[in-house]
Amino acid sequence: MTQHTRVCVIGGGVVGASVLYHLTKLGWSDVLLVERSELTSGSTWHAAGGFHTLNGDTNMAALQGYTIRLYRELEALTGLSCGLHHVGGITLADNADRFDMLLAERAKHRYMGLETEIVTPDEIRQLAPIVNTDGILGALYDPLDGHLDPSGTTHAYAKAARMGGATIQTHTMVTATTQRPDGSWDIETDKGPIHAEHIVNAGGLWAREVGAMAGLSLPLHPMEHQYIVTDEIAEIYERDTEHPHVMDPAGESYLRQEGRGLCIGFYEQPCRPWAVDGTPWSFGHELLPDDFDKIEDSIAFAYRRFPVLERAGVKSVIHGPFTFAPDGNPLVGPIPGLRNYWSACGVMAGFSQGGGVGLMLAQWMTTGETERDPAAMDVARYGDWATPGYTLPKVIENYQTRFSVAYPNEELPAARPHRTTPMYDIFAGLGAVFGQQYGLEVPNYFATGDEPTYETPSFRRSDAFAATAREVAAVRDGVGINEVHNFGKYRVTGPGARDWLDRIMAGRIPLPGRLALNPMLAPSGRIMGDFTVSCLDETTFHLTASYGAQAMHMRWFDSFAEPGIRVENISDRLTGFQIAGPRAREVLAAATRETVTDMRFMDVRRVIVGMTDCVVQRVSYTGDLGFEIFCDPMGQRQLWQALMEAGAGHGLTPFGMRAMMSLRLDKGFGSWGSEYSPDYTAAETGLDRFIAWQKPTDFVGRNAAETERLAPPARSLAVFAVDSPDADVHGYEPVWIDGRVQGFCTSGGYAHHSKTSVALALIPRSLDQSGLEVEIEILGAMRRARRLDGPLFDPKGTRMRG
């Protein structure tokens, strides 16, 4: 007989158990977890059990804080012990860059409510006397860090889920998953069939195999990981209190007390991927053979940092596999293009992140939204291009850089170049220094002369500074050319396309030959997209947005699918260039026999440029006079030739994304993922100025937006000029007003044309007034900043609209 359930969670590790619990907590009690062996089988049972809040993404850090605080709640609810040891943790810095990173993280924590602090070498020795502080500049101390019992914690989640009505079936192996036409799922197991409305893949080490049953290729891979437990150490067991955790990034190690001895684990450089061709179904409670050779150098370094280790015997060695995504963050959320299939995979830090992952996924499933922007862990941050051949070298790279300094301008090299446009070799020949977005190679800037073709990572102004200034000047003083492939692009067609877009978008849907800027909102009013909508004719619309969000945006469009409306992701089927600057009109006119001098701001039309059939839009993110010129990739190189020949007499100069992001600061323009994201609403960020309040359509998010229109939210987005000599805002720096933190930066940088360090920040609306002076904490230094009353460049929009 078929068993029926609303949700079937596949996998009984800590993540699957957390998802099950949170679903019941949010009111879904008809939920089932199936596990092929016992709970904790796989990676959970042999995990070191450490937990911490430190994470480069603030939302992930907040969710890790939630996870840690949840354990006491679980213990109180279930009466089971999670084996909690809140001992605090210290992350050491042995060089200036690492110390800058800790200063930046501490600053982020101020507005997040995390009580971390920077400590000196003397304070390190008091907190953790076994640490040799030679060469240490300081450390970040987090009182929330600690460790727990992996088995006890997983069983506490499971008991709490059962108390909420969930069912758990162990020794039940899934052998097939098949979707029905109505979107529900038939799940075959060795104990009989299950019919579920939703599937959650929490398969851990077997997530790839479980995904393959549904035709999925998930970008994750297991890596071998080893830690050592020592015999008794007098300096440990004679202490009155438990020794805190110590993370030593220079030695690629983490250390904590284990009983009367120590536990130390390593992220060694000569690491090894595991089960490259698939995880054996027979694996479960086994360990891998000890392998001291690959951690020989790490152990030698640890002896210098923690001299007591050299005198300690080895009690046991734990060597087992853990699963990683290419960037080390989880893969969570609804799978794009596959209805009612959810991912909860790649959670390598399960005891730091498992609670937050369970909460976010349960919110997503039960309400359609999450309380925080899930971008850092959204499974949609990867597309079909993230093949196993791409994933393996990226996972190895992530493992090897687990404790490396995470710079804001760093471009990691593994598995690159992967995806390129027809312009790649031409740009490379011009000295392009490439970054990558959603797997695509994108020029960040162009090096000339003796300039290196590699940007040195830094928290301060980098060696790209001069090149970026040169490119900004080329745009503002003449005309620049930049590729537009790294826009997400969509075609919406059908007799009802206008009406459909009118419901999906909050702004005005333009008439033929015109375009309009459009926020796309969730029912809660939070921002799901920041689009340019162009009307080519009454049944054909062209949309552009962030290239990196295309899978997420297509998933959103699919959730509102209607018969007769066709939405195509043409991001890689349409490419081209933008030209921007006071001479842009002259260049375009010289490249075509058609009349373009009459194009108004926000016009769109078909134009033959050179020999290439193009769609030309009179708009530019640079805030200058500009045109976006879209074409088929097959014609891109000819279009380049035509534009470069036409621009030869006007000084047409290539520019990259570094210059683009500097140019937008002159105008105070926000960007997707920084100012505009599901963390914020249109009224908070100023996007409400593009909402078409007069249109009669009940567009998605209208009720929430109307509520904020009548009662504006407590915070608003402001732009500041910052007095900072050598470092700029990157994002999440705290804003101090009247001696306390009352806001935070969303993004910033150096506006080269205006010669001003600029920060965009969310601050209390009641304080967002002309003349406001604040302090912004940048790398531990308090920098004065003043609110700008208007754009630094072209405040009346004369150049942009003229």
pLDDT digits (tens, 9 = 90+) for 725-762: 999 999 999 999 999 999 999 999 999 999 999 999 99
- Burial of 186 per CB tally in 10 Å (0-12, 13-18, 19+): middle
What's the rounded Cα separation, in Å, for the pair 398 and 548? 20
* pLDDT of residue 2 exceeding 80: no
Q: What local confidence, expressed as pLDDT, does residue 802 receive? A: 85
What average pLDDT does range 672-695 have in this prediction?
Answer: 97
Looking at residue 389, what is its pLDDT? 97
Closest CA to 74 of 143, 135, 24: 24
Angle at CA 368, nearest 5°, toward 566 and 33? 115
Q: What is the pLDDT of residue 57?
A: 83
Mean pLDDT, residues 658-686 taken together: 97
54 pLDDT band, cuts 50/70/90, is confident
pLDDT, position 583: 98
Q: 229: Cβ–Cβ under 8 A, 6 or more apart, which residues?
A: 258, 261, 262, 263, 314, 315, 316, 317, 318
pLDDT number for residue 115:
87
The bridge status of strand 31-34 relative to strand 117-119 is unpaired
Instruction: Inform me whether the pLDDT recorded for 53 exceeds 70.
Output: yes
User: What does the pLDDT look like over 199-211, one tens digit per residue?
Assistant: 999 999 999 999 9
Using the predicted structure, report yes or no on whether residue 535 has a pLDDT greater than 70: yes
Per-residue pLDDT at 62: 87
As a whole number of angstroms, the distance between CA 18 and CA 254 comes to 25
pLDDT at 1: 58
Confidence of residue 48 (pLDDT cuts 50, 70, 90): confident
Mean pLDDT on 34-61: 86
Name the residue with tokens 């390593």: 266
**pLDDT (tens digit per residue) in 310-348:** 999 999 999 999 999 999 999 999 999 999 999 999 998
Q: With 70 as the cut, is the pLDDT of residue 69 above it?
A: yes
Q: Write out pLDDT tens, residues 584-643.
A: 999 999 999 999 999 999 999 999 999 999 999 999 999 999 999 999 999 999 999 999
Residues 475-522 have pLDDT tens digits of 999 999 999 998 999 999 999 999 999 999 999 999 999 999 999 999
Confidence class for position 692, pLDDT limits 50, 70, 90: very high
- Which H/E stretch holds residue 707? helix 702-710
User: Beta strands of 723-794 (E only): which ranges?
Assistant: 734-737, 740-751, 756-764, 773-778, 781-787
In 12-95, which ranges are continuous DSSP H helix? 14-25, 58-78
At 82-134, the pLDDT tens digits run 999 989 999 999 999 999 999 999 998 888 878 899 999 999 999 999 999 99
pLDDT at 58: 86
- HSE-up of 729 (CA within 13 Å, CB side)? 34
pLDDT digits (tens, 9 = 90+) for 158-197: 999 999 999 999 999 999 999 999 999 999 999 999 999 9
Residues in the chain: 802
3-state secondary structure of 543: strand
* pLDDT tens track for 230-287: 999 999 999 999 999 999 999 999 999 999 999 999 999 999 999 999 999 988 788 9
pLDDT of residue 690: 98
CA 31 to CA 2: how far, in whole Å?
A: 15
**Model confidence at 790, in pLDDT bands (50, 70, 90)?**
very high
- Phi/psi for 626 (5° steps) reads -165, 165
The 8 Å CB, 24+ separation contacts for 521-524 are 521/681, 521/682, 521/699, 521/700, 521/701, 521/702, 521/704, 521/705, 522/368, 522/369, 522/678, 522/700, 522/701, 523/368, 523/369, 523/700, 523/701, 523/703, 523/704, 524/369, 524/681, 524/701, 524/704
For range 542-568, the mean pLDDT: 97
C-alpha of 68 from chain center: 21
380 band by pLDDT with thresholds 50, 70 and 90: very high
H or E element that contains 345: strand 341-345
**What number of CA atoms fall less than 13 Å from residue 35's CA on the CB side?**
25
- Which of 416, 417, 415, 411 lies closest to 391, judged by CA? 415
* Predicted TM-score (pTM) of this structure: 0.95
Q: Which of 68, 14, 71 is nearest to 40 (CA)?
A: 14
Other C-beta atoms lying within 10 Å of the C-beta of residue 281: 12
- The conformation of residue 782, written as its DSSP 8-state character, comes to E
Categorize the per-residue pLDDT at 572 as very low, low, confident or very high, splitting at 50, 70 and 90: very high
Query: Which helix (H) or strand (E) element contains residue 799?
Result: helix 798-801
Q: What percentage of the chain has pLDDT greater than the value 70? A: 100
Mean per-residue pLDDT for 64-72? Answer: 91
Mean pLDDT within 388-417: 95
